[in-house]
Amino acid sequence: MNHANPHSTSATRLLHLAHFRRYLLGFFRTLNTGQTFDTTAKMSQLSKIAPNSPSRTSPSEIETAINNALEDLQNNTQDMKSALRPLQFVSAREIEVGHGRKAIVIFVPVPLLQGWHKIQQRLTRELEKKFSDRHVLIVASRRILPRPKRSNRSRNSQTQKRPRSRTLTAVHDNILTDLVYPVEIVGKRLRTKEDGSKLLKVVLDEKERGGVDYRLDTYSEVYKRLTGKTVNFEFPQTAASDY
């Protein structure tokens, strides 16, 4: 009667395990490589999203749509091609503005804001054709720095000053300017209601009334969603009756 050699059986099992291990390593290596290729391909297709933005690797649906719309305009609109080429955005979001309407806010790097402004009027018209029933607004992506705290250790030493442009007041003022660009803000008035709540009234240049009066509710709602503050946008003749 033949008996199996226990040493031979163990060696066979070890050999099978080694083969299986090599198979698993190869499988996961292929899987990881595929994921890398997928990520690289996705990033190369999102050329209008800033490389350092988290949205570059995990864009939302609206961010992908904005990227594609900008690429389409850059590739197919001859008189916008050179101006659009260097422009990128950081993120984008949709905001409900009432009456079943939405606004799209595109947040752009501060250093590129001037480039966006150069073509903003034409660009927003083209984007609003692609995103019907939505107003498109461009706002610089600014970061608010907290007020520096004084500790016992630093009381007798000079603390690092916070740039004024990074204060809450400055950032909120700049958001106002960005929202209504290129319309000029000609006046502001802060009113305190009987219940203690505050209302900021922003007066816009009368010359632009016909071009933006239908967007005033959008400006107000977007500003409130971005800052938590209530604001009314109006024109001098309307504002005069309130003073």
The residue among 165 and 217 whose pLDDT is bigger is: 217
Domain annotation covers residue 237: yes
Q: Which of 89, 108, 141 is the endpoint of a domain?
A: 141
Among the listed residues 75, 70, 72, the one whose alpha carbon sits nearest the alpha carbon of residue 119: 70
- C-alpha torsion 111→113→118→121, nearest 10: 170
- 111 and 57 in one domain? yes
Q: pLDDT digits over 205-239, tens only?
A: 999 999 899 999 999 999 999 999 999 999 997 55
pLDDT more than 90, % of the chain: 63
The count of domains in the chain is: 2
CATH number, domain of 223, equals: 3.30.300
Q: Which of 83, 109, 141 is the endpoint of a domain?
A: 141
Least confident of 42-46, 49-53, 114-118, 178-182: 42-46
Q: Which of 86, 111, 141 is the endpoint of a domain?
A: 141
**Structural domain that includes position 207:** 184-243
Alpha helices by DSSP H, listed for the chain, are: 6-45, 61-76, 81-84, 113-130, 168-180, 209-212, 216-227, 236-240
Q: Are 59 and 73 in contact (CB under 8 A)?
A: no
Mean pLDDT (whole number) for 25-32: 54
pTM of the model: 0.76
pLDDT of amino acid 39 = 44
Domain annotation covers residue 3: no
Domain annotation covers residue 147: no
Dist. CA 209–CA 213, nearest whole Å: 5
Checking if the pLDDT of 41 tops 50, the result is no
CATH number, domain of 108, equals: 3.30.70
